[in-house]
Structure 1
Amino acid sequence: MDEHKHRKRWKWKKKHSIIAGVVVVIILFRLLLPTFVLRYANRALANLDGYYGQVADIDIALYRGAYQLDRLYLNKVDSASGEQARFFAVQRVDLSIAWHSLFRGALVGAMTFDAPELIFTKEKAEIDAVAKDTNDFRQLLKNFMPLRVDRFEVHNGSIRYTDSTASPIVDISLEKAHIVAENLKNTNREGEKLPSTIRADAQAYGGTLALDMRLNALAEQATFDLTAEIEGANLPELNDFFIAYGRFDISKGTFGLYSEFAADSGRYKGYAKPIIKDLEVVGLEDRNDSFFQRAKEAVVDLVGSILENPEEEQVATRIPIEGSFGQTDVLVWEAIWQILKNAFIEALMPSIDHAIDINSPKEVEGRKGVFDAN
């Protein structure tokens, strides 16, 4: 009897020792996992072709299937000199399973960026370079998020363009951006032509930017319907840009831009409608400028006054843009006509026209543009 109790007690101890051992292993694994993942991430970021980056810390939340990258940065590396230029930095990236999609039977991921900053510099901002940077950045995110991303959100983001070779140095940006992209892998609203959405807003020099886009993120060719507008941007705050590239500054004025674009089956159609209100180029701050500088700014001011609608006090045009990917037609004469129409006939409305939808690209087929931008 005593031997039977002894065996029973021994089995009980053995069973609980195994359970305790497993628990200890799990705890150790949980404690060491962030260190292993951090080392892996930093090795991957340090060995990227053309880039160098690091992550300060990694937190793992197994209970919700997520992990966070803290204080991540990624710099572009010049292949000749080895010098680094800032490209991307973010305070925190949260990568997790999208539970709302999982309940519908789709195993996809969600990403949230806190205070990200994306920087384009002049020597790196050619169209081909931007496209390469974008593709490389997408591949980097895929490396960190093994699941297909169905949703991402950006809080307090910024996008900057800098040119340190200009005089004065140009540094322009969109700030406090909030971006939400949903249903990128079409986990719901199946059967719709444009099932995915991207919405964004940001601050732009005292004004605001708003973007609303419906798209098919899974389509082989770009398929989307987009509206975007900038309102109330204060032009004098952009004087470093005007001085560097136009050799004049602006005393007063606000800028707005209203645009619609749609793309389908390799073709696209849309317009951009820039509107400048209350424009004054010559001001009291120019009294110490040279004679030639004041004369140049006076000419710019005169042209602005001639083309300004007297009632609305605005210079505006509407630039139609259409074509197929690889060939763009900018309808220049239509844009010139719209400038004259705004100045002398009827002021253009500072708003979206609601003239473009997903069916508009069909009108482009077989049409020859006035001016080939390529």
Structure 2
Amino acid sequence: MSFYQRMSKKKKIITITLTVIIVALIIFRLLLPTIVKNYLNKTLADMGEYSGHVEDVDIWLIRGAYVINGLEINKTTGKVPVPFLVAPKIDLAVEWKALFKGAVKAKVAFFDPVLTFVAGPTKETSQTGADGDWTEALDKLLPIEINRFEIHNGKIKYNDFHASPKVDIFVNQFELLLTNITNVEDKEKALPSDLTVSGSSIGGGNLSILGQVNLLKQVPDADINMKFTDIQLKALNDFAKAYGKFDFEKGKLSIFSEMSVKNSNVQGYVKPVLEDVDVLDWDQDGPTFLQKVWQAAIGTTFAVFKNHRKDRFATKVPIEGKLDDKIDTDIFTTVVRVVKNAFIEAYQKTIDDSVSFNNNGEVKEKKFLFFKVKEKEDE
């Protein structure tokens, strides 16, 4: 066999080998979405009391990403008529910003997800997600550590199908951005991750959350401010009738909160503000005599304890304790705050800037009516 014949034979072998490899890669690429989909569905099939399913998977090798289409998670051990989570599209991709810093991390974006919590008289008819085995499923669903997490145009719902009337309240147009989760950018920063949340609620309320967190600790540290403003109370009438046996004729609700978590110590407050509230319409048909008496009592409570110059009813509920203990929400302090608001001052419609991550754990001053007591946090 001549030299040229041997070279020609080698070329044929190389050509055939490369052709087989290319064809195999093409076939593998075509089958890969189905392989990944079947893998995900097997993983999601058993998550404690929940089970999940995806409709389709798209693979984008060039940008290092895959897209999950049609994720749905349902509770399987009870009688809940709605899914726990519906996510039409989830985009998982390599975060190039982190990669350029020498870290292989992922970014995840949920588009148009709907998360539904359900209250019911029994565990079987309730849906909170607490009984789901999520850890293993999430590890397999997201094989790379997440450094950036996004939610776009989401919806969070609360339903009670067993109440009378049925309760359906929600926050929609929900946007969330959490960055630098694994602290790729600033190793010295105590709270390296930035959190931004916004949304709109039933009754036209506006939700805004700004904060910094450290999710690398076993019990995450955090410094968070929240404003939930201008919720029209009439939109909450089903909720009020179901749980309070009264309804609102008019009024607005705003909620303000600051919360700090440092080394498992929690300090903060929740401050609801009710404005221009009317809870009884005597011309309304339907309520029984006893219901009207109850509504009148509620209305009298608002009338007595509101600040009459500003037509505002407010209180400030302090929250403090350790996350491994029961958080203390002092009822006595709550009542004192209500009375103070009624006869001394109306709380301003704003965050107080009275809670700081840096001051969490320092000596604090508690007020008991006419005297003060200083306390020091446990070391």
- TM-score by structure 1 length? 0.90
Deviates more, 1:277-286 or 1:99-108: 277-286
- 1:317 deviation in Å? 0.8
2:177 to 169, 180, 192: 180
Cα deviations by residue, 1:186-217 (Å, 9 ceiling, x for unpaired) = 11111111111221111112011111121111
Q: Which residue of 2 aligns with 1:302?
A: 300
Stretches of structure 1 lacking an aligned partner (at least 5 in a row): none
Structure 2 CA distance, aligned partners of 1:103 and 1:272?
A: 41
Match status 1:223 vs 2:256: no
Q: Which residue of 2 aligns with 1:292?
A: 290
Structure 1 residue matching 2:210: 3-state secondary structure: strand
Letter in 2 for 1:217: L
Q: Is the 8 A contact 2:268 2:355 kept in 1?
A: yes
Structure 2 residue matching 1:327: 3-state secondary structure: coil
Q: Is the 8 A contact 2:84 2:129 kept in 1?
A: no
Distance of aligned partners of 1:250 and 1:366 in 2 relative to their CA distance in 1, 3 Å threshold: closer
Identity %: 32
Structure number having the greater helix percentage: 1
Match status 1:22 vs 2:38: no
2:154 to 152, 157, 160: 157
Deviates more, 1:359-368 or 1:56-65: 359-368
Q: Is the 8 A contact 1:323 1:364 kept in 2?
A: no
Q: Which residue of 2 aligns with 1:280?
A: 278
Structure 1 CA distance, aligned partners of 2:147 and 2:26?
A: 31
Letter in 2 for 1:148: E
Match status 1:257 vs 2:255: yes
Structure 2 CA distance, aligned partners of 1:83 and 1:241?
A: 19
Structure 1 CA distance, aligned partners of 2:80 and 2:338?
A: 45
Letter in 2 for 1:213: G
Q: Which residue of 2 aligns with 1:50?
A: 49
Structure 1 CA distance, aligned partners of 2:252 and 2:184?
A: 42
Q: Is the 8 A contact 2:82 2:116 kept in 1?
A: no
Structure 1 CA distance, aligned partners of 2:283 and 2:183?
A: 55
Letter in 2 for 1:89: V
- 1:48 deviation in Å? 3.0
Q: Which residue of 2 aligns with 1:200?
A: 197
- 1:53 deviation in Å? 1.7
- 1:221 deviation in Å? 2.5
Match status 1:35 vs 2:15: no
- 1:228 deviation in Å? 0.6
2:86 to 73, 85, 89: 89
Distance of aligned partners of 1:71 and 1:152 in 2 relative to their CA distance in 1, 3 Å threshold: same
Q: Is the 8 A contact 1:116 1:158 kept in 2?
A: yes
Deviates more, 1:186-195 or 1:287-296: 287-296
Cα deviations by residue, 1:240-298 (Å, 9 ceiling, x for unpaired) = 11111111111101110000010112211111110011101112662443222222212
Structure 2 residue matching 1:12: 3-state secondary structure: helix
Question: Pairwise CA RMSD of aligned residues?
Answer: 2.6
Q: Is the 8 A contact 2:183 2:192 kept in 1?
A: yes
Q: Is the 8 A contact 2:48 2:133 kept in 1?
A: no
Q: Is the 8 A contact 2:75 2:127 kept in 1?
A: no
Aligned residues: 365
Q: Which residue of 1 aligns with 2:376?
A: none
Structure 2 CA distance, aligned partners of 1:136 and 1:360?
A: 36
Distance of aligned partners of 1:368 and 1:264 in 2 relative to their CA distance in 1, 3 Å threshold: farther
